[in-house]
Amino acid sequence: MSRLPEREGGGVVSREVCLARVRAWQAAGRTVVFTNGVFDLLHAGHVRYLAAAKAEGDHLVVAINTDDTVRAAKGPDRPVHPAAERAELVAALRVVDLAVTFDEPTPADIIAALQPDVLVKGADWPLDQVVGREIVWARGGRVVRVPTEQGHSTTGLIGKIRR
């Protein structure tokens, strides 16, 4: 469980609280930006990516993969940190308005539920592989691919530590 309390306008929240806040923001005419990822060993590349995502709208929601989904995608040695701690770290960043975890293999379900105005992914993802793009486009939203920071990756950092 996250040590950060659910607080007005931010923090690690349940999917239900996240949905309610997103709906309230959108009803007030605010632009909601969504991104997702593992964010296992937080580094400068993550921070810069999240800052670029936040620049695309008024509120940034970050969905964090649960431990089981990370292991399925990246192997038995990952994640390094449990989902609750990864979400807590991401939520503590000034540019992040809400962090929420998701346990499905892809973020399609949470994107469908939240209906964000902008979907952001790293430019290392080809547009045709960005999960949720059709959902966002169907409501007139935008999909933005943000350039990734060369030399900044969790896999590279883990390799460096092991060497």
Give domain status of residue 7, yes or no: no
Residue 153: domain span? 15-162
Give domain status of residue 4, yes or no: no
Give domain status of residue 6, yes or no: no
pLDDT (0 to 100) of residue 1: 41
Do 33 and 60 contact (CB within 8 A), yes or no?
yes
Give domain status of residue 24, yes or no: yes
Give domain status of residue 124, yes or no: yes
| pTM score above 0.75 | yes
pLDDT tens-digit series, residues 66-95: 999 999 988 898 898 999 999 999 999 999
Confidence of residue 148 (pLDDT cuts 50, 70, 90): confident
Distance in angstroms (rounded) separating the CA atoms of residues 16 and 22: 10
pLDDT (0 to 100) of residue 107: 97
| 34-52: b (≥16 Cβ within 10 Å) or e | bbbbbbbbbbebbbbbbeb
Give domain status of residue 103, yes or no: yes
Number of domains forming the structure of the chain: 1
| E-only strand ranges, the chain | 32-37, 59-65, 98-102, 118-122, 142-146
Any idea what the CATH number is for the domain that residue 45 is in?
3.40.50.620
Do 11 and 98 contact (CB within 8 A), yes or no?
yes
Confidence of residue 161 (pLDDT cuts 50, 70, 90): low
Weakest mean pLDDT among 20-29, 86-95, 151-160: 151-160
Residue 154 has pLDDT above 70, yes or no: no
Stretch 125-132: mean pLDDT: 94
Give domain status of residue 106, yes or no: yes
Q: Is 31 helix (H, G, I), strand (E, B) or coil?
A: coil
Give domain status of residue 66, yes or no: yes
